[in-house]
A and B are shown apart, each in its own frame.
Chain A
Amino acid sequence: MSDVAAAERSPWRRDPWIALAAVAVFAGIVMILPVPEPADPPGGPLPETNFAVVDVTVFDGEAFRPHRDVWVEDGRIRAVGQRLALPDGLPRVDGRGHTLLPGLIDAHTHTYGMMLTDALRFGVTTVFDQFTMPSLAAAKRPARERLARGDESDLFSAGNLATAPGGHGTQFGVPVETLTTPEEAAAFVRARKEEGADWVKIVWEDGGTFGADIPTLDRETIAAVIEAAHAEELLAVIHASTLEHSLAALDMGIDGFVHVWGDEVISEADAARFAEAGVFVIPTLSVRVAAAGESMGPALLEATEPEHVSPMQRQTLTQTFPRPVGTSEAAVESVRRLHAAGVRILAGTDAPNPGTGFGISMHGELRLLERAGLSAAEALAAATGVAADAFGVEDRGRLARGRIADLLLVAGDLESDLSRSAAIAGVWKDGFPVEAAWTLPQEPQ
């Protein structure tokens, strides 16, 4: 009888174990819940990012500095100097015969597809996007706030651009919020800010330069948007395709131009006005020469090992505009005069427009800027320090203590041969090495 009773009692001997298992499952669930990445390292150590590049020529965002050691720790640059006292056992990269520069900043892109991965492979570690879907931008922005292993460059974006219903920017099938009157400007800009826009991009494009007639914002509305952006403490930049519009925008208090116009060469007096106003210009010569029928795309493609080029890069590099618009000479000359007058020039590609490719075209853009009279250091600054300063982006664009370790190592001396920028020997994002493309640089045709 007692055996039976004991046997019958056994089921509830399991109860404590069931209870313990339930507690364990609950704790397990809590353990897999997402936690925020450390927002601002040095919060967490990243030992796998600890290394040094030794005896390398550094371009620090402004100028070349030969024979420097660069010490990276926890995803940031710990020190830059000559013959640093590096700890024993710290992994070292021999920098002799190489140039180390901050990861490049492409100041004019449109994020799409695998862009951020494609760009990173070519040393572009940060992009300033001038129009993409706000939801995409919102999804990608958080990554720039943390240091972590990844295969994408960081994104800053205007998000939804300011254009008229049916105007330039609405033709891509992406839903675009538009406006038509100055009265709407304040609410429009506030909505952009709430979406997370990092600045406001305005389109002033009536299609005249390419023989079309498309709706565009009127001057009053553009002025109102600029004013609203400043009220919200956002930069306002503008796509203006003629010199006349550009000068008008200058008078309205615009902060920057995302293209150089292609119709007329700016006078030296007007260039001085640009300089005086303190504006910056992102000429996007890559797309200007492509629009003029002189695309650098095929040459860039040819100089690169095919396995480093994504199908999308290949496709956009080989695409051409339906018919030539303007000449490259006028655009290049305007950039020369603006630069000579002291206007800040920023490197941007306008990828993925025809004739351009994500990341890869930055190496073409550098040489186009060189053609417009910028020195190698000035062209590289346009792609690094000057760009970061113009958009008020901290932590990037310079190779200095405390900055994020976004790095591009190239074989050769860039000061004497800027075309070597594409001879990529290594790319680091947040101190983590990433798979880098390498190219056989040739003279562009």
Chain B
Amino acid sequence: MAAHSARVLRRGLFWQLRIALLETRFQFLGYLRLPAFAVPTLLFPLFFYLFFGVLFQQGGVSLTAPTYMLATYAVFGVLAPSIFGFGVGLAQERDTGALLLKRTTPMPTAAYLFARVGVAMIFGAVVVASLFLLAGFAAGVELHRWQWFALAAVILAGVLPLSAVGLAIGAWAKQQAAVAVVNLLFIGMSVLSGLWFPIHMLPGFLQDFANVFPAYHLGQLALKVIDLDLGRPLWFHLALLGGQTAVCLAVAAAGFRRFSGR
């Protein structure tokens, strides 16, 4: 039996990856069957963009607004699956005990986290692809091929820092509290980070305040790809985003330690 187990453990990374993919598949299926999650997540950014980025711009000759909004609404589009998936989803599985049950199994923790990030990325990728198609073929946005790819890459990579925010909430809050906190953060961070309307329309002190939000830095990085950011250097946003992610992960780790000591 010991030899058998050792053989199993040697499967190592490949075995973990298979479980991670299966976890991803079933978490994704689960959310897909949850219209209250899937429908707003997929359609809100599209409707917002259709309304503000396409219809409002009809007859205008400038393509700046639809291009700008493409970047910010795409960030908005990955914000929801990232922070709701972790913030509410994790709190829920912790409250029901499903997470505890999984901790008694050989499921690798990494596979579970991979799946949560993966599901957010899948939803994010669907939103990004739909927004891109809408922008390219309805709003007339034209970007260099590398810009399209870079924009997609920046935004999908943004799932990681945004997920860290959700993880920190999900590690501490009970399900009901998590719903409230995540909603507040979702709306507040969207507006104050300049995802709904350009950041430069906010008063100066709010523009400074926006620095505390990962979504703001992510939005600026996305806008940097299309040369519409506020002009802060790349390292500034990367450093703050990295720092904020580290803080969120530390907060989350503390939450889980408290949880297992209970």
Contact = CB atoms under 8 A, between A and B. Distances in A.
Contact of A12 (B21, B122, B136, B144): B21
A174 interface: no
B18 A34 contact: no
A66 interface: no
Contact of A34 (B22, B122, B141): B141
B133 interface: yes
Contact of B133 (A12, A15, A29, A135): A29
Interface in B4-36: 18, 21-22, 24-25
Nearest to B58: A135
Nearest to A13: B18
A185 B22 CA distance: 68
Contacts of A85: none
Interface residues of B, number: 23
Given A35-B142, A135-B59, A30 B18 contact: no
A35 B145 contact: yes
Contacts of B142: 34-36
Majority DSSP secondary structure for residues of B touching A: helix
Nearest to A31: B145
B117 to A, nearest CB: 13
Contacts of B259: none
B51 interface: no
B149 interface: yes
A207 interface: no
Contacts of B152: 26, 30
B129 interface: yes
B219 to A, nearest CB: 20
A33 B25 contact: no
Contact of B144 (A15, A16, A36): A36
Interface in A312-366: none
B74 to A, nearest CB: 12
Given A15-B18, A34-B142, 17 more contacts: A12-B21, A15-B25, A18-B25, A19-B21, A26-B125, A29-B129, A30-B132, A30-B148, A31-B145, A32-B136, A33-B132, A33-B133, A33-B145, A34-B137, A36-B142, A36-B143, A135-B59
19 contacts: A12-B21, A12-B25, A15-B25, A19-B21, A26-B125, A26-B129, A26-B152, A30-B145, A30-B149, A30-B152, A33-B133, A33-B143, A34-B142, A35-B142, A35-B143, A35-B148, A36-B144, A135-B59, A138-B61
